[in-house]
Structure 1
Amino acid sequence: MDEERIAIVTGASSGIGRATAARFARRGLRVVAAARRKDALDQLVAEAAGGPGTIVPVAADMTTPRAAGKLLEAAEREWGPAAVAVLAAGRGLPGTILGSDPLRWAEIIEVNYLSMLEQLRAFGSDFRQRETAAARDIVVIGSTAGRQVSAANPVYGSTKFAVHSLVEALRQEVCGDGVRVTLIEPGFVRSGFQDAAGYDMQWFAAVTEESGPLLVPDDVAATVEFVVDRPAHVHLDDIRLRPTRQRI
């Protein structure tokens, strides 16, 4: 990986986003880490202190107008133009079509789909304008739920199906400009995601028993690192990773 590149990571307060920001910093990258929880970002910065890289925290809600543009501006103020964006902010929603809370449908569509559309537009527009031979990467954290229809988790899954199509569409739009747009689809990951979204933790314990050991956030972060570490002419554009024992 070119350690001179500047990265932006959203959803960096926990889970995959946090693990990715930490891994980048250990490699010596300069990272703008964005999330809503400033206290969690401050802890991330403290843990990275003294390492080869640098993390600048930005408290941001990615559903607010121009959130992605402000992160690009923050990177440029600190160091220069960003060349890597990892979009890991997202939210889950338990329940079936008949059983999920309809009052939360609009929220999850805004967070997982509309916000992602805004981010893809902002980062894609910025990166394609940079005249450089170096790699420029947009990496989106999707889900195997966005490929495998599940009656048990359809509202969340449908937002991921939609995002997956956006990622491929943007890839086709900007690949001629040397921008790599990559989708990573993790299966079950042991993190705070399920608890924060309100999933039944007894169900998750059963999943862990059947499919574990589950992935951990750093497993996915290592995959992100591998993707952006490829030479500029090589693009791994769609990767699924699951726990070995996960059936679907």
Structure 2
Amino acid sequence: MSQQRVAVVTGATSGIGRAITGRLVQEGMGVVAAGRRAGRLGELAEELAGQPGAVLPLAGEMTQPGHTEELLAAAEREWGAASVFVASAGRGLPGTVLGSDAAQWRELLEVNYLAVLHQLRACAAVFTKQAEADGGSQVRDIVVIGSTVGRQVSAANPVYGSTKFAVHSLVEALRQEVCALNIRVTLIEPGFVRSGFQEAAGYDTAWFEGVAAASGPLLVPEDVAEVVQFVLDRPKHVHLDDIRLRPTRQKA
């Protein structure tokens, strides 16, 4: 493991985060797989046993202060300093400005915005310290999973979309702040992805199947994971900083 990169992936219990973890482990990385459900993380570690890389499952809440630092410290104890951090944890919220459940707004903002802001700050601080020590000789990557609704306003899903708009601006601002140290901060903006995300957030199943019929075949988490791997594999002087991927038939 000493010659391979080390990564932290949040939201690894399901969907895109789980697929990214699997892809990186298959490529030989040591990955701290973070999420709220310890049982699901344990299952993932068992599933990936025998791959070229390795998984260290670590359950916790991304909204808790200091959790990002704990994940990075765990990676360093296990394999050495991480040079990849993927922020994939997040949740959805169906409904319009008038129709969404106002009782869930605060949690949505805490999970999708404030927790990500803390992750970016904590990870960038650690990576900056490391880069200053080695003169930026090693490339380091922070990858954030955004959404196409964080770029194109959706009247049908605006509260969730507004959190992604906010995160997208943070990603670009941080990119500008740390790029001189060869720290690449990348935004990935998927369109419709068929995963457990919609069901967990309470989106209407019939509506989603209508979307799939009109715009499908939809993306699957492995499509996003493949793009993340491609970004990480670019030479140190090349940065694909903002990538949108949609089902070919998705219009907006």
TM-score (ref. length: structure 1):
0.98
Q: Which residue of structure 2 lines up, in the alignment, with residue 93 of structure 1?
A: 93
Q: Extract unaligned runs of 5+ from structure 2.
A: none
Q: Which residue of structure 1 lines up, in the alignment, with residue 50 of structure 2?
A: 50
Q: Could you report, residue by residue, the CA deviation over 1:188-241 in whole angstroms, capped at 9, with x for unpaired residues?
A: 000000000000010000000000000000000000000011011100000000
1-side partners of 2:51 and 2:186: how far apart?
28
Q: Which residue of structure 1 lines up, in the alignment, with residue 233 of structure 2?
A: 229
Q: Which residue of structure 1 lines up, in the alignment, with residue 173 of structure 2?
A: 169
Q: Which residue of structure 1 lines up, in the alignment, with residue 65 of structure 2?
A: 65
Q: Which residue of structure 2 lines up, in the alignment, with residue 243 of structure 1?
A: 247
The percent identity for this pair of structures is 65
**Counterpart among 161, 165, 185 of residue 189 in structure 2:** 185
Q: Which residue of structure 2 lines up, in the alignment, with residue 141 of structure 1?
A: 145
Q: Could you report, residue by residue, the CA deviation over 1:15-73 in whole angstroms, capped at 9, with x for unpaired residues?
A: 01000000011111000000001111111101111111100000011001111011011
Determine whether 1:205 maps to 2:209. Answer: yes
Large movers: runs of 4+ above 2 Å:
none
Q: Is the 8 A contact 1:135 1:179 kept in 2?
A: yes
2-side partners of 1:73 and 1:55: how far apart?
15
Q: Is the 8 A contact 1:3 1:27 kept in 2?
A: no
Determine whether 1:38 maps to 2:38. Answer: yes
1-side partners of 2:205 and 2:50: how far apart?
37
2-side partners of 1:211 and 1:69: how far apart?
40
1-side partners of 2:121 and 2:138: how far apart?
20
CA distance change for structure 1 residues 239 and 21 in 2, over 3 Å: closer, same or farther?
same
Q: Is the 8 A contact 1:3 1:29 kept in 2?
A: no
Q: Which residue of structure 2 lines up, in the alignment, with residue 116 of structure 1?
A: 116
Q: How many pairs align? A: 247
| Aligned-partner residue type, residue 247 of structure 2 | P
Aligned partner of residue 243 in structure 2, secondary structure: strand
1-side partners of 2:64 and 2:76: how far apart?
20
Aligned partner of residue 13 in structure 2, secondary structure: coil
Alpha-carbon offset, residue 129 of structure 1: 1.5
1-side partners of 2:146 and 2:176: how far apart?
18
| Aligned-partner residue type, residue 178 of structure 1 | N
Alpha-carbon offset, residue 3 of structure 1: 5.9
Q: Which residue of structure 2 lines up, in the alignment, with residue 17 of structure 1?
A: 17
TM-score (ref. length: structure 2):
0.97
1-side partners of 2:217 and 2:3: how far apart?
32
